[in-house]
């Protein structure tokens, strides 16, 4: 496939086009990301960088623990349940072993695990306020009476994995015991003894020098335990997320994933701020990502209270295009059928989990409020997302694959959220109708040579790319 990054934003041509039934109405569509690059020389340079990176041994670029070769998927407590420790008055929602057992049961029984959602991640506020006599962290005895090891084994018995939270400062962000430099080794060993599968290492109550020493030290300490423990670093989020303060080459050598930006909130404004930051800095961020090393724009808030269904599809699609971790933070016991359908969409998940590991880019940003995102996938396939920033009404956006710099040929195009498909020539103009704050997400096969039989059905010739308002359904 020719690199779409070489194209400038497109103005709608007054030429014949195909009207496709790809819309972002309820029950449809999804969002995505892509490049806004318009300089051909820079685009070519970026492609060369991608090709070079793909040819390098991955062990030279990623933490050498063999983990998270595709973006991790699972459930994380923080955004939905925060630091609710009032188990007397709110027993179903407080941070306790019962909450994590409930979520594990839902992942196991409701079809989530089979789709890849296997991590159950504890966040802040799980610990006792005091370390034990040996200086080790310990779980709050009232809220986690069985301890963390029992919880790990509960997950493992169901084919799930347990993640835990620590902070390299004197205290966690919620005020619980931290893991300062002199405690890193013992805490890493404690997590291994508890058979934990992932550590999120936060950075509250620490300074720049402590972070520069502590984050690499924890990576080495985890590897030294002999237990494979995936490592999530919050380091770049505390340093502004960008070079020169952030060294993404180093991060790829010590961490499996990292938080680049501030915490997500349960609101569309928060999702947009994160999307804007990631795509405004896509040249830096996309080069850093790959198998075993992922940029993390934070949790999926689909199924909570702040996003509409269209906005929920947009978040799912954009996170899939970014090759972002898919950590839900919601209540799986009460999630709506609409939210469940978005999060369990098999094609969106397959795009997210593509083994190539390339992070997608924004390629078009129109004055109309429509943006186009693209992600190259394995076997010469790809994904496109048409995203609307408009707030007034659905927008009919017209383009063609050749305008998006796809090579000549015919493509099978599947709407990710409706599962409708068409055969589409690169030269065919088509229209997508994108709802306000919504998306249309398309999966495209590898290009094939034009085959006339593809454009006949039931012995009748289907209307061609040059026929006005032609349909390929």
Beta-strand relationship, 439-444 and 410-415 = antiparallel
DSSP secondary structure letters along 240-261: TSSTTT--HHHHHHH-SEEE-S
Query: 140, 202, 310, 415: which is the annotated catalytic residue?
Result: 202
Tell me which residue of 72, 115, 160, 161 sits closest to 350, measured CA to CA. 115
Tell me which residue of 37, 27, 117 sits closest to 75, measured CA to CA. 117
Local structure of residue 16 (DSSP, 8 states): -
* Neighbouring C-beta atoms of residue 438, cutoff 10 Å: 30
Local structure of residue 330 (DSSP, 8 states): S
Strand (E) or helix (H) holding 445: none
Q: What is the rounded CA–CA span in Å between residue 121 and residue 276?
A: 27
Please enumerate in sequence order all residues whose Cβ is within 8 A of that of 313, keeping only pairs 6 or more positions apart, or say none. 24, 28, 29, 30, 31, 342, 417, 438, 439, 441
Is residue 84 part of the annotated active site? The answer reads: no
Tell me which residue of 130, 206, 193, 135 sits closest to 167, measured CA to CA. 206
Query: SS3 of 292, please?
Result: coil
Sheet architecture: strand order including 439-444: 361-365, 370-376, 382-388, 439-444, 410-415, 421-425
Q: What is the rounded CA–CA span in Å between residue 134 and residue 117?
A: 35
Rounded-to-5 percentages of helix, strand, coil across the chain: 30, 20, 45
Tell me which residue of 379, 386, 376 sits closest to 317, measured CA to CA. 386
Is residue 263 part of the annotated active site? The answer reads: yes
DSSP secondary structure letters along 406-457: PPSSEEEEEETTT--EEEEETT-EEEEEE-TT-EEEEEEPPPB---GGGGEE
Asked if 252 contacts 68 with a C-beta cutoff of 8 angstroms, the reply is: no
Query: 110, 263, 283, 467: which is the annotated catalytic residue?
Result: 263
Give catalytic residues, as residue numbers: 202, 263
């Amino acid at each position: 496939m020719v690199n779409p990054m070489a194209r400038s934003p497109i103005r709608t041509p007054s030429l014949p086009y195909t009207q496709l039934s790809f819309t972002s109405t309820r029950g449809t569509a999804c969002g995505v990301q892509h490049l806004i690059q318009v300089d051909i020389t820079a685009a070519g340079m970026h492609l060369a960088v991608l090709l070079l990176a793909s040819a390098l041994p991955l062990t030279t670029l990623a933490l050498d623990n063999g983990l998270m070769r595709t973006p991790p998927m699972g459930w994380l407590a923080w955004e939905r349940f925060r630091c609710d420790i009032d188990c007397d008055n709110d027993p179903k929602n407080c941070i306790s072993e019962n909450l994590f057992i409930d979520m594990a049961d839902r992942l196991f029984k409701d079809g989530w695990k089979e789709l890849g959602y296997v991590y159950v991640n504890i966040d802040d506020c799980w610990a006792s306020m005091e370390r034990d006599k040996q200086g080790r962290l310990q779980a709050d005895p009232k809220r986690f009476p069985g301890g963390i090891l029992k919880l790990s084994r509960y997950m493992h018995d169901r084919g799930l994995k347990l993640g835990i939270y620590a902070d390299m400062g004197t205290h966690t962000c919620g005020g619980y015991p931290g893991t300062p430099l002199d405690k890193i080794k013992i805490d890493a060993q404690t997590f291994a003894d508890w058979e934990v599968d992932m550590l999120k290492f936060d950075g509250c109550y620490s300074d720049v020098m402590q972070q520069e020493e502590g984050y690499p030290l924890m990576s080495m300490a985890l590897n030294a335990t002999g237990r494979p423990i995936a490592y999530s670093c919050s380091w770049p989020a505390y340093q502004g997320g960008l070079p020169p303060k952030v060294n993404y080459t180093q991060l790829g050598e010590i961490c499996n994933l990292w938080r680049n930006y501030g915490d997500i909130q349960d609101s569309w404004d928060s999702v947009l701020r994160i999307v804007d930051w990631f795509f405004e800095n896509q040249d830096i961020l996309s080069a850093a990502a790959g198998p075993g090393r992922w940029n993390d724009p934070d949790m999926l808030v689909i199924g909570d209270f702040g996003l509409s269904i269209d906005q929920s599809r947009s978040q799912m699609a954009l996170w899939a295009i970014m090759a972002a971790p898919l950590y839900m933070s919601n209540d799986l016991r009460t999630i709506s059928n609409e939210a469940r359908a978005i999060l369990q969409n098999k094609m969106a998940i397959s795009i997210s989990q593509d083994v190539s590991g390339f992070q997608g880019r924004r390629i078009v940003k129109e004055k109309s409020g429509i943006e186009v995102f693209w992600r190259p996938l394995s076997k010469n396939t790809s994904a496109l997302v048409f995203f609307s920033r408009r707030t007034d009404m659905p927008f009919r956006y017209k383009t063609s694959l050749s305008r998006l710099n796809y090579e000549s040929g015919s493509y099978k195009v599947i709407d990710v959220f409706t599962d409708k498909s068409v055969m589409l020539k690169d030269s065919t103009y088509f229209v997508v109708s994108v709802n306000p704050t919504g998306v249309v997400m398309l999966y495209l096969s590898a290009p094939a040579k034009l085959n006339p039989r593809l454009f006949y059905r039931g012995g009748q010739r289907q209307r061609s790319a040059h026929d006005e308002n032609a349909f390929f359904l």
